[in-house]
Amino acid sequence: MASPTRSTARRAPQVRSGAESAKVLPADVRHLHRTLLLSHLYKSEPKSRADLARATGLTRVTVSDVVADLLDRKLVEEVGTRPGTRVGKPATLVTVDYTSHALVCLDLSRETEFRGAITSLDGDILYRDAIELGDDRGDTAVTKVTQLAHRLIDNATVPVLGIGVGTPGIVSAEGTVRNAPNLGWRDLELARHLHDELHLPTYVANDADTAVLAESTFGAGDANGLMLVQIGLGVGAGILCDSHLLRGPEGTAGEIGHVRVSDEHIVCSCGRTGCLETYLAAPRLRERLAGLTPDRATHELERAGQQLGQVIAPVAQTLGVFDVALLGPEDLLTEPFLRATQEAVNATTSHFLDRNVTTRLSALGSDGVLHGAAAHVLAGELGLS
């Protein structure tokens, strides 16, 4: 990877020319071995070096060398011995050192503020911060993102492994925000900007894409087939199929917010009218609910849920995704909203399948994008997913 400002969920191979492209360099092999061992240790019981050799197929000498390297990097730690039944030295157990490094995570999807957190390597949130967004857009919004990241880094008590950012809009694999009209950003090299300012590996991705990774890594989702719909400043979906994040060649996969759902002449941030986002984005939906009686508000939420269900059902059935998680403000994702969404999905999808498409609230609650930002850093820096 030419630059640490990458935003992909997995480390991309370096490109080399000529005969050199066929070579596997020692550094590549060491990286693969580190990733392999960490993946076997992450969120599992402590293991001995012999356990790791059996599980990975690597030789004991190789495992010992890699574990020594990981100990030097403070990514794993020794945690005692396993009582043995055979004569000889008890096996020393190792596990991931979850508190040795911090992850700086930013969620730019909220209506009124940018939120940030410091997490441990297993996703536990150790510190929170936020900065009011107000009416700031464009360059002033970028300044606030930078300020928030600086504040988080200043409050980290251990080395920061990297920065993860979940933002609304279309985001390239390099972390460039191609278009985020709700924030006034177009062709903004956000990952490069933060890397140049903060000198840390930086991963920037669409907010729904980060959240679906979090639902799979830290929540209740199955990476073999999961859609997560994020409702915030805008509306978007992140989709995992066969453990792969679907992005599309231009990073536009999951942009359901700009599917036309009504004939109403409300202008969307994209310039068109009738988009799902004009109705379901949190600020727009709150405008519709303002001043309504409880009964009318319930009806409006049911209508919003129905529109969402009609949009996500064909996407889910086409891709063979049966688990759809919803992430957004708790006061909007109410029981009437969820019921109407599920009813619309039921009415739109086939009933000849063994499984039905089901909708539910995200297991991660309001921290889904923050956890997703952490998941992107873990995947990019350590190969964990």
pLDDT in tens, 83-115: 765 666 788 999 999 999 999 999 999 888 999
Mean residue pLDDT of the chain comes to: 88
Output the CA torsion sign for 279, 283, 285, 289: negative
CATH class of the region 220-362: alpha beta
pLDDT above 90 for 309 = yes
To 10 degrees, what angle do helices 26-41 and 49-56 make?
Answer: 110
- pTM exceeding 0.75: yes
CATH code 1.10.3720.10 for 27-96: no
Domain with CATH 1.10.10.10 in the chain: 27-96
Query: What value does the mean pLDDT take over residues 159-165?
Result: 98
Please list, in sequence order, all residues whose beta carbon lies within 8 angstroms of the beta carbon of residue 339, skipping any fewer than 6 positions away: 302, 305
CA distances from 342 to 226, 240, 293, 360 (A): 16, 20, 24, 9
Residue 170: which region, alpha, beta or left (left: phi > 0; alpha: psi -120 to 50)? Answer: beta
Domain with CATH 3.30.420.40 in the chain: 102-211+368-382, 220-362
Confidence of residue 5 (pLDDT cuts 50, 70, 90): low
* Nearest alpha-carbon partner for 360 in 208, 242, 215: 215
CATH class of the region 102-211+368-382: alpha beta
What is the C-alpha to C-alpha distance for residues 189 and 360, in angstroms, rounded to an integer? 34
Helix/strand/coil for 57: coil
**Residue 58, token pair as written in the block:** 């690597």
